[in-house]
Amino acid sequence: MRKKAGLKSIGRAVARTIEGDLHDIGKNLFIVFLRSMSFEVIDLGIDVSAKKFVDIVKQYKPDILAMSTLLTTTAGNLRKIIEALEREGLRNKVKVIVGDATASKEYAVEIEADTGGVDAYEGALICRKWVEEKNRKESS
């Protein structure tokens, strides 16, 4: 987890590649864009289990949960993580963005993510918008 020296974070994001997938180029690009927008990013790396992800969400209370998968064989794990977040009462506390080759906008809707099927830069812009809206509501 890194912060730019002297800059205040606009929000916190947790990013990871789901269990069973070792592809991380898209996730890493997404993290670069988030950090350039002054997000604090917790990068969990690759092949991360649902349990570890839920534990990290409980500990860090991020604004954004970003999950990626490139393989069609692991895309079902995205749904499992959202279901685990629901069971733990965490799903309504964060925005979920899913990305990479198998995470289309339609699939994001199907698994009840907030969005998906966007490239890394567009995804980061969406996350910034979400956090800015949340911060405006909290300051009103």
pTM beyond cutoff 0.95: no
Of 96 and 6, more confident = 96
**Is 5 inside a domain boundary?**
no
**Is 17 inside a domain boundary?**
yes
pLDDT tens digits along 81-126: 999 999 999 999 999 999 877 778 888 999 999 999 889 999 999 9
Give the pLDDT of residue 1.
46
Phi/psi of residue 76, nearest 5 degrees: -60, -20
pLDDT tens digits along 40-73: 999 998 888 888 889 999 999 999 999 988 777 7
Residue 9 is classified by DSSP as P
Count of the separate structural domains present in the chain: 1
**Is 132 inside a domain boundary?**
yes
We report the CATH number of the domain holding residue 86 as: 3.40.50.280
**Is 2 inside a domain boundary?**
no
In terms of residue numbers, what domain contains 120?
11-139
Please tell me the distance from the alpha carbon of residue 96 to that of residue 65, in angstroms, as a whole number.
5
Helix (H, G, I), strand (E, B) or coil at 125: helix
Please tell me the distance from the alpha carbon of residue 34 to that of residue 70, in angstroms, as a whole number.
20
- Rounded to 10 degrees, the C-alpha dihedral 9/14/17/19 comes to 170
**Is 6 inside a domain boundary?**
no
Judge whether 127 and 13 are in contact, CB under 8 Å. Answer: yes
**Is 120 inside a domain boundary?**
yes
